[in-house]
Amino acid sequence: MAGKNEYIIPIKGLKEGKHRFEFDLKTGSINGIENEMDVKLDLEIDKKSTFYHFYFNLNGKIAVECDNCLNNYDEEIKAHHEIIVKHSTEEGSFDEGEIEVKFISLEKTQLDIAPEIYEYLLINLPLKKICKDGKCDPEVLKILNADQSEKKNNELDPRWDALKGLKEELNK
Ligand SMILES: [Zn+2]
């Protein structure tokens, strides 16, 4: 299992110009994400004299649980994100238009991009997760539906009302 140190970029040591880093994001390689995955991260850093421009390209698959039938299926990840990283006396992140600007301290010589990878993987998953092309497990759906209609029947069954009435009658 890969440690998170793998995602530390030695920014200070980079020469001005473009640099490329490639990462294979496998299952368990990002802290906090347990899903099975196979995602390629292609990171380009354009180092300018006063800032670094980070281009993240993510491409691959993450297994997620279907909200409908609870089976795991692969969700495709294809995403592009950019951030500007600048040295500053104050640290923090700000959105300037489209691109987030991240300020890091003047002394910082390296940058851990694991938090960015974590965020980008999660925000690119759909809120509603449903198996593609109606491939939900029919067996599970049958059970879930049967469960629901049974509940409904119990609620609507007039015999329950009759029993309730009888009970109230007896308690008088
Ligand atoms: Zn499903």
Taking the centre of ligand 1 as the mean of its atom positions, its distance from the CA of residue 117, in whole angstroms, is 27
How much is the pLDDT for 170?
Answer: 73
Taking the centre of ligand 1 as the mean of its atom positions, its distance from the CA of residue 133, in whole angstroms, is 10
Written as six digits, the tokens of 69 are 């039938």
| CB-based contact 54:85 (threshold 8 Å) | yes
Written as six digits, the tokens of 64 are 């997620």
CA distance 149 to 86: 58
- Shortest CA distance to 1 belongs to which of 27, 23, 40, 33? 27
Taking the centre of ligand 1 as the mean of its atom positions, its distance from the CA of residue 138, in whole angstroms, is 9
Taking the centre of ligand 1 as the mean of its atom positions, its distance from the CA of residue 21, in whole angstroms, is 36
pLDDT in tens, the chain (172 residues): 444 478 999 999 999 999 999 999 999 989 999 999 999 999 999 999 999 999 999 999 999 999 999 999 999 999 999 999 999 988 888 777 778 999 999 999 999 999 999 999 999 999 999 998 888 999 888 888 887 776 666 666 666 666 666 667 777 6
Taking the centre of ligand 1 as the mean of its atom positions, its distance from the CA of residue 148, in whole angstroms, is 17
CA distance 57 to 44: 8
CA distance 45 to 5: 18
pTM score, whole prediction = 0.78
Neighbours of 109 (CB within 10 A): 9
Taking the centre of ligand 1 as the mean of its atom positions, its distance from the CA of residue 153, in whole angstroms, is 25
